[in-house]
Amino acid sequence: MRTMHAALARIASMAAVGCICAGAAAADGIAPGEWKLTETVIMNGQATPSQVRTRCLSPEQAGDTTKTFSPDYRTVNSACERVAFTATSTTLRWRMVCKGQVDMDVAGDFIFDTAKHYSAKIVSKGAIAGRQFVDSSVSIEGEHIGECH
């Protein structure tokens, strides 16, 4: 069971990290440069203290929402498929479902309200033999803070 927990946590983390790396809000993208990311995780109903980190975004990363904020489900697991995807100039929503020994359902919802701010929520659920054992939510607040150092 610990291995299954670790596998789901790893995939959810990869999805979150892949999405946190930043991307575009509109055709012109969000601002490249240094971003402050505040992340809050709720795992099986228990909140963890928020963590803050920074991330430097290249102009290429800041210019492609679809590529930067969406997990590449084909590299996560061959039993995964993207079952939903919508993108507008201010939102990005996707959902990935994986079937196998561990069934997973991971969804991302991003709102790009300005070129220097976005918020996101990534929700992950995992089950074995139809019995849910993981239900997590990662809330992300992204704030542009200047040039990369």
Using one digit for the tens of pLDDT, what is the confidence trace for 66-79? Answer: 777 788 766 656 68
Give CA 111 to chain center in angstroms. Answer: 12
Task: Give how far Cα 125 sits from Cα of 34, 52, 69, 71, 116, Å.
Answer: 31, 24, 19, 16, 30
Cβ neighbours for 48, distance < 8 A, ≥ 6 positions apart: 40, 41, 42
pTM (global) more than 0.85: no
Q: Which domain holds residue 138?
A: 2-146
Longest CA–CA span in the chain (Å) reads 48
Residue type present at position 12? A
Which is it for strands 91-98 and 80-87: parallel, antiparallel or unpaired? antiparallel
pLDDT in tens, 4-38: 444 444 444 444 444 433 333 334 568 999 999 99
Which one, of 49, 33, 44, lies nearest residue 142 by Cα?
33
Domain count, the chain: 1
